[in-house]
Every structure is written in C-alpha cells, then in structure tokens.
Amino acid sequence: MWRDWLLRAAQVIGSLLGALVLASLLATLSQPTHGFWPLLSVFCAKFMAALEGDFGRSAVTGARSMAAAVAAFPATLQLLTVGAVIALVIGIPLGIVLSASRALRAAAPLIEIIAAMPVFVAALALIWIAVRVLHWSDASQTSALSWTALVRSGGWNAAWQTFALPALTVGAAGAASVQLSLRRAAVRAWSAPYRNGLRMMGLGTLDIDLRYAVPEVIAALLRDAGEIALALISATAVAEWVFHRDGAAVLFLKSAAFGDWNVAAAVLFLFAIIKLVAEFLGLAASWLVAPDEGAA
C-alpha cells in the first residue's frame, strides 16, 4: 500500500510542476521575444522564479502578482465553499433519485442537456428571476461587496439576496457534476457481477447495497473530487463576471483581457492547487471508505 501512496505523492508533485510549467508559459507572454532560444531563456527564468513563488509584477498596477492574486482569493474561496455545499445538497439527492428510480431514469437525457447548458445562461436566468420575480432590483448595485460588508451595510436580507445568485449559479454547475459522477458510480456498483453471487449466498438486496454498493459509490464520488472542483472553479469565474463580484476568478479574466500575464499565471497556479488538493484529499478519503476501490 505504501507504494501506491508514494506513487500518488509523486503524481501530485508532478502535477504541481506541470501547473508551474503552464503558469510559466503564460507569464512568458509578458516578455515578447523573437526566436526559439530567447523564448526558451525567458521561460526558464520565469519557471525558476515561479519555483520560489515569484511570478513577477503586474503590468497594470506594478504590484506583486502573487500578492494581488492572494488578496483577491478570499472572496472566490467563499463563493466556492458555499457553491460546493449547494452542489452536494442538490447533486447527491438528484443523483440517487435518478439512479434508483427506473421511472425517473427517463429524465436523465434532460438532466444531461441542463448540465451541458453554459453556466452564463443559468446566471442570466437567475438574474431575470431575481429582478422580475423576486424584485431584487438592488442586487446589481451591491453584488461586488463581500458578505461581511453586505451584512453591515444592508442587513442579512440584502446579503442573502446579493450573495445567493452567484452562489446558486456555482452550486447548480457543481450539482450537475456531482449527480453525473454519482449516477456513473451507481450504475457500476449496482450492475457488478458479485451481486448475483452474494444473493445466492442468502444476502438480501438492501444488505448488499449497504455493505458493498454504497461504499463503492461514495468512494467513486470522492475520487471525482478534482473534476467537481474544476466545475465549481469554472462556474465561479462566470458567476463573478456576470454578477460583478471582485475575486480571483474575475481577476484572471481581466488580467488575460489586459495582457497582464504575470497576474493571470499566479491566479491559474492557485486554482491548480485547489484542484490538486481536492483530488488528493478525495483519493485519500475514498481509500478510507473503500480500501479495495481506492487502491485500484
């Protein structure tokens, strides 16, 4: 088993280096060069500096790129956390219902279409509902504030109104990823060949599900934590842009738009860390839930 974990640790380190390489390539765009060797020289310099945590300075503000990314990160992390909770609350029951009920399996293609819908379309729909149905007409004026600032300025009601829309957008995208992962795992677990043998040994369906199928499904969902994190990050970038919230995700989009590649590289590396941490913790937790499945 220790060999498996050494291999996984090596994979994490390799993935971090790969994220540094990608970020360094992005930062290389901040110093246009002509010819392969000058470009390679700039890339090597950027990569060595990135290994020390130095992503250069912003071409727009002159501040340290990593400092700017870290300063904008708490708002994004808050939105990611709330969106992840919403994704689990909605996605897990939806995945279970669609997996367990034959009558509702017919709705699976519709769910796939909704899951494939661009996140910004869902965001625009939520804005329309907020303004036309819930009459949250002041949401666009205060959506850039943080949760604490909203509570201080307008009370809990204003904070809920202006934070709920982007959080629901992120949560909806995450829920689609969660239910899809859960349904895939449930199909594999409930169609496994060992179920027939266990029934012949006298075990009931419920007993088989609780002892074997449920741990396998949970472990598979945990192993997909990295993919779910990516879905949440992508949705957060769209939600911050559409709802005019200041965060690391929208900072990346603005940096790319203005050619501030050093800041874009720093933000990209932070998001890569989130994905890798979620993936590693998910693998570790899946091994605790189902050791045989986690080691596979």
The 10s digit of each residue's pLDDT in 140-153 is: 444 444 545 544 55
Distance separating alpha carbons of residues 38 and 155, to the nearest angstrom: 56
| Residue 140 confidence (pLDDT) | 45
**pLDDT per residue as tens digits for the range 232-251:** 998 898 888 877 788 999 89
Distance separating alpha carbons of residues 288 and 39, to the nearest angstrom: 46
Across all residues in the chain, what is the average pLDDT? 78
CB of 249 within 8 A of CB of 4?
Answer: no
Contacts of 294 (CB under 8 A, 6+ apart): 219, 223, 283, 284, 286, 287, 288
- Which CATH number characterizes residue 247's domain? 1.10.3720.10
**Overall average pLDDT of the 265-290 stretch:** 89
| Residue 224 confidence (pLDDT) | 93
Residue with tokens 């933000």: 267
**pLDDT per residue as tens digits for the range 169-228:** 888 888 888 988 888 888 887 777 777 777 777 777 667 776 777 888 889 999 999 999
Percent with pLDDT over 90 in the chain: 18
| Residue 73 confidence (pLDDT) | 93
| Residue 141 confidence (pLDDT) | 46
| Residue 15 confidence (pLDDT) | 84
Contacts of 150 (CB under 8 A, 6+ apart): 142, 158, 159, 162, 163
**Overall average pLDDT of the 107-126 stretch:** 60
Distance separating alpha carbons of residues 27 and 50, to the nearest angstrom: 10
Per-residue pLDDT at 42 exceeds 60: yes
CB of 98 within 8 A of CB of 184?
Answer: no
Stated pTM of the model: 0.78
Give the C-alpha distances (Å, rounded to integers) separating 238 from 89, 142, 147, 234, 249.
21, 18, 19, 7, 8
Nearest to 29 by CA among 51, 74, 67, 59: 59
| Residue 24 confidence (pLDDT) | 87
| Residue 232 confidence (pLDDT) | 92
CB of 196 within 8 A of CB of 165?
Answer: no
Per-residue pLDDT at 37 exceeds 90: no
**Overall average pLDDT of the 270-281 stretch:** 91
Domain count, the chain: 1
Single-letter amino acid code for the residue at 48: M
**Overall average pLDDT of the 15-34 stretch:** 82
pLDDT band at residue 67 using 50, 70 and 90 as cut-offs: very high
| Residue 202 backbone zone (phi > 0: left; psi -120 to 50: alpha; other: beta) | left
Distance separating alpha carbons of residues 13 and 70, to the nearest angstrom: 21
| Residue 130 confidence (pLDDT) | 63
- Residue 89 tokens read as 């609350």
Domain boundaries, position 239: 2-294
Least confident of 93-102, 154-163, 286-295: 154-163
